[in-house]
Amino acid sequence: MNRLSRIFLPVTVLGLGVFTGLVLMATGPEATLRPPIPALPVVKTQIVQPQSYQVSLRTQGTVTPRTQSTLIPEVAGRIVSIATNFRNGGSFVTGETLLVIASADYENAIIIARADLARARLALEQEKALAQNALNDWKKLGRKEQPADLTLYKPQVASARAEMAAAGARLQQAETNLARTNIRAPYAGRVLEKKVDVGQYVAPGTVAATIYAVDAAEVRLPLTDSQLVFVDLPGFGEQNSKHKAAVMLSRRVGNVVHQWRGRLVRTDGAIDTASRQLFVVAQIDNPFQYKKLNNGNAPPLKIGQFVEANIQGQKLRDVFVLPRAAVEIGDTVLMVTADRRIERRAVQVVLRRGEQVVVSAGLQAGERISLTPMPFARDGTAVSVPGEKSEGDIAYFPIPDLGH
């Protein structure tokens, strides 16, 4: 019995399991087949509207003085003193004495010139007296004909008068040379490079220093052909025009960005042959003083400082400003039609600036473009655009649940 139970008991359990499975399969609900739901690509879109766009051109350059001069003595001599600020980087005001040359020789020259002038004046008075006596004698003789010029001492008087004028000119020149021993600043400025010092002998033509004025600084800024069409350049004879394009110069120092305001005043006379760019010149008034700008203290500019510049260009009207990702290679955009299908369209791009692209033609107000890159999408491709927002907003759409 035990042996039989070991054989039939497993067989009985197996049979009951098979029977139960067959009953469940026969009495279970019948599964219905459903067609697969197509997985449409989900896109992010934007309604485009025309607007005005202020063009700002980015470039860079180096600060240079507008007025820079070489200080050269006009007389020879030994330097006996210099101004306290006559050092590299020193400041001075208009008319300040920067160098003094020994003046003894020029003072002596004035004394000698005055003596020569006195002798010339005496000689002139003597010749005048002789001429008057000769005229009186001629009249006493009762002569009727006109006396000769030599008889009346006219050439002698003219010569004495010319000698007196020459003596006066020599005195004036001596006084001018004495004044030139004090070399004065022609304008308010700073010393860029000092090349002489006390005790040094200088002659006319010796370079004493290089100086520059502090009333204004300039920055030469290169512009490409594509940038030139968006800026109003100063015309011929308009170098001092106040209404030309504004320029904002900036420089980052640590975590702080300093800014200075300027304006375009002129352009170079020719395009640079090396870079094929045209250089425009921006002028900054009083650049070496602390000025408050944008609620911050802008330090003074420094000669040779590298700065970035934003030039205010033209204001474009009725253009479309799109994200850079919306414009594909070849200047095309993906339009989303009313029936949610893709339509590839060429547009006219007039400006690319950072993450923005400015389009002037190819779009109409109220049309919808796709912001989602789809490089292989073909015209007529269906897309999913659920959850639309108001016109002009960017709609972000979730992936729909396709399982139910």
Is residue 366 domain-shared with residue 268, that is, in the same domain? no
Give phi and psi for 12, each to the nearest 5: -65, -45
Least confident residue range of 42-56, 269-283, 332-346, 374-388: 374-388
**Is residue 262 packed enough to be buried (19+ CB in 10 Å), middle (13-18) or exposed (0-12)?**
buried
Nearest to 289 by CA among 281, 298, 280: 298
Nearest to 69 by CA among 219, 213, 220, 281: 213
Is residue 273 domain-shared with residue 347, that is, in the same domain? no
The answer to whether position 9 is within a domain reads no
The answer to whether position 34 is within a domain reads no
Is residue 309 domain-shared with residue 256, that is, in the same domain? yes
CB 101 within 8 A of CB 73: yes
Nearest to 336 by CA among 363, 359, 354: 363
Mean per-residue pLDDT over the chain, rounded: 83
Is residue 136 domain-shared with residue 169, that is, in the same domain? yes
The answer to whether position 24 is within a domain reads no
Number of domains in the chain: 4
The answer to whether position 2 is within a domain reads no
Looking up residue 337, the CATH number of its domain turns out to be 2.40.420.20
The answer to whether position 376 is within a domain reads yes
Place of tokens 């002698």: 156
The domain in which residue 151 lies consists of: 103-180
Is residue 239 domain-shared with residue 200, that is, in the same domain? no
What's the pLDDT tens digit per position in 16-66? 777 777 777 777 676 666 666 667 777 788 888 898 888 888 999 999 999
Looking up residue 292, the CATH number of its domain turns out to be 2.40.30.170
Is residue 209 domain-shared with residue 279, that is, in the same domain? no
Is residue 295 domain-shared with residue 337, that is, in the same domain? no
The answer to whether position 249 is within a domain reads yes
Alpha carbon distances (Å) from 173 to 65, 79, 106, 109, 180: 34, 21, 10, 9, 10
Is residue 296 domain-shared with residue 221, that is, in the same domain? yes
Query: How high is the pLDDT of residue 118?
Result: 95
What's the pLDDT tens digit per position in 216-264? 999 999 998 888 888 888 765 555 445 578 899 998 887 888 888 899 9
Q: Count CB atoms within 10 A of the CB of residue 173.
A: 13
251-246-68 Cα angle (round to 5): 65
Query: How high is the pLDDT of residue 136?
Result: 84
> What is the pTM (predicted TM-score) of this model?
0.68
In this predicted structure, the answer to whether residue 394 has a pLDDT above a threshold of 70 is no
In this predicted structure, the answer to whether residue 295 has a pLDDT above a threshold of 50 is no
Is residue 334 domain-shared with residue 356, that is, in the same domain? yes
CB 190 within 8 A of CB 90: yes
Is residue 306 domain-shared with residue 369, that is, in the same domain? no
Amino acid at the residue 304: G
Cα separation, 190 vs 77, whole angstroms: 24
Last residue of a domain, one of 315, 350, 370: 315
Tokens of 85: 């600020």
Is residue 115 domain-shared with residue 251, that is, in the same domain? no
The answer to whether position 196 is within a domain reads yes
The answer to whether position 311 is within a domain reads yes
Least confident residue range of 127-141, 179-193, 237-251, 279-293: 237-251
